[in-house]
Amino acid sequence: MNDYKFRTVVAGGDEPSPGVVEMQFSSGYRMGARATQHLGENFSASVEYGFTRQALRLTNVIQRLPYLNMGHYVHSFTYNVAFSPMTRDERFRPHVELGTGALWFHISERGRTEAQDRDLRLEDSWEVVFNYGVGFKYLVSDRFALTADFKGRLSDIPTYGLPTSTRRVNGQFEPAITTHGVMHALQLNFGFAHEWD
């Protein structure tokens, strides 16, 4: 589980912060697909789509609401370049890779409705992502391979359409998330691949 805490900034004055806002992303499953083009014997480029189901818990975004649990999904779209010290005819091919792309943090319709019922208007967030990782491909036959990789993912922390500072209106602080730092997610992937010439 990834847990992020931010002390809310109050705009336009010396008023004390209304408190700490917390975002918790639970662990979840991930599925996806990848298409790879070999660039010579040692390099390759790939485009990848991934889908992750992760519940989201917001704490202290609204003063009168201690926490809110929501259905939440992360869609990733990335382009990666990999290098392997082994040539394509080797059965075991380890590799390192780097890439970039975009993340779509999507709140479920039910979660969005529940938030609106509590006067909290949330929107999906898009963030730029940078990937790094290591892995390997093991050829079971000339056309079929097993794959495994371990990746790190760096992006800004989503704000879900909320302002980055709050102010007091009619005695209540408006919802806000004062994010800082980066989101660093780790993932372990297993799969299989079919190769064409």
pLDDT digits (tens, 9 = 90+) for 179-196: 888 889 888 889 888 877
Q: Quick check: 129 and 153 in contact, CB under 8 A?
A: yes
pLDDT digits (tens, 9 = 90+) for 117-134: 888 888 999 999 999 999
Q: Please report the domains of the chain, with CATH numbers, ordered by start residue.
A: 23-158+182-194 (2.40.160.20)
Nearest Cα to 82, choosing from 27, 38, 113? Answer: 38
Model pLDDT, residue 14:
67
Band of the pLDDT at 1, cuts 50, 70, 90?
A: low
Q: Quick check: 178 and 9 in contact, CB under 8 A?
A: yes
Nearest Cα to 9, choosing from 19, 1, 48? Answer: 19
pTM: 0.84
Give 51-120 as a DSSP string: EEE--EEEEEEETTEEEEEE-EEEEEEEEEEEE-SS-TT-SEEEEEEEEEEEEEEEE-HHHHHHHHHTT-
Model pLDDT, residue 22:
86
Model pLDDT, residue 150:
95
